[in-house]
Amino acid sequence: MAMAAALLLLLLAAPAVYAVQHTVGGSTGWNTGYNYVTWAAGQSFAVGDTLLFTYGPTHSLDLVGQSDYTNCATGNALSTYSGGSNIITLNTTGTVYFLCPTPGHCGQGMKLAVTVGSGPSTSPPGTTNSPPPPPPPPPSSASPSIGINRLILGLTLGLGLVLAFMG
């Protein structure tokens, strides 16, 4: 019985370990004059990952449908966020669309489409906080939480295997 409980706990915990927080725009944040299409193309998004939007007082954030995204229409937001810092959890597969509703900002490229897959995020270490070229960003390490999470996952898997074979 203890073995079954340990394995169930392992199976429930494993997906959360791989969640990644993506800082939208890297060190630039959510701002005009940045290519979010290029940024998103360098990322891999999975259910459970989060998007961290950081921005100044002249910006905000709308979650919109595909048509509003394509046309930079701001009147039909599915959700609106403000305050300078928002963390959005990617809960479902498919494409999610964001834009800045400040007049003219979406037309200046302040919009983001994120395609969310069902598997664990496979973004290379460091891509969540590194802006795209030019110039090429220096190599950076993954956030400590990702390394610690993988260590914990490895230890948990090892413990689960030991318990499975002992039981």
**pLDDT tens, residue by residue, 60-110:** 999 999 999 999 999 999 999 999 999 999 999 999 999 999 999 999 999
User: What pLDDT score was predicted for residue 8?
Assistant: 40
**Is residue 137 reached through a cis peptide bond, with omega within 30 degrees of 0 on the bond before it?**
no
**Digit-coded pLDDT (tens) for 6-29:** 444 444 444 445 799 999 999 999
- CA distances for 151 relative to 18, 81, 156, 158, 159, angstroms: 11, 34, 8, 11, 12
- Domain definitions of the chain by residue range: 19-121
CATH, range 19-121: 2.60.40.420
* CA–CA gap between residue 125 and residue 16 (Å, rounded): 17
Residue 135 amino acid letter: P
- What separation in angstroms does the CA of 9 have from each of 16, 46, 141, 156? 12, 21, 30, 9
Q: How far is residue 39's CA from residue 101's CA, in Å, rounded to a whole number?
A: 20
Instruction: Specify the pLDDT at position 159.
Output: 56
What pLDDT is stored for residue 118 in this prediction?
A: 84
Q: How far apart are the first and last CA of the chain?
A: 9
Instruction: Give this prediction's pTM.
Output: 0.64
Query: Do 125 and 146 touch, CB atoms closer than 8 A?
Result: yes
The token pair at 85 is 């810092």
- For residues 158, 145, 147, 119, the Cα torsion angle rounded to the nearest 10 degrees is 70
Mean pLDDT of 129-155: 44
Does the bond joining 139 to the residue before it have cis omega, within 30 degrees of 0?
Answer: no
For tokens 């048509």, name the residue: 67
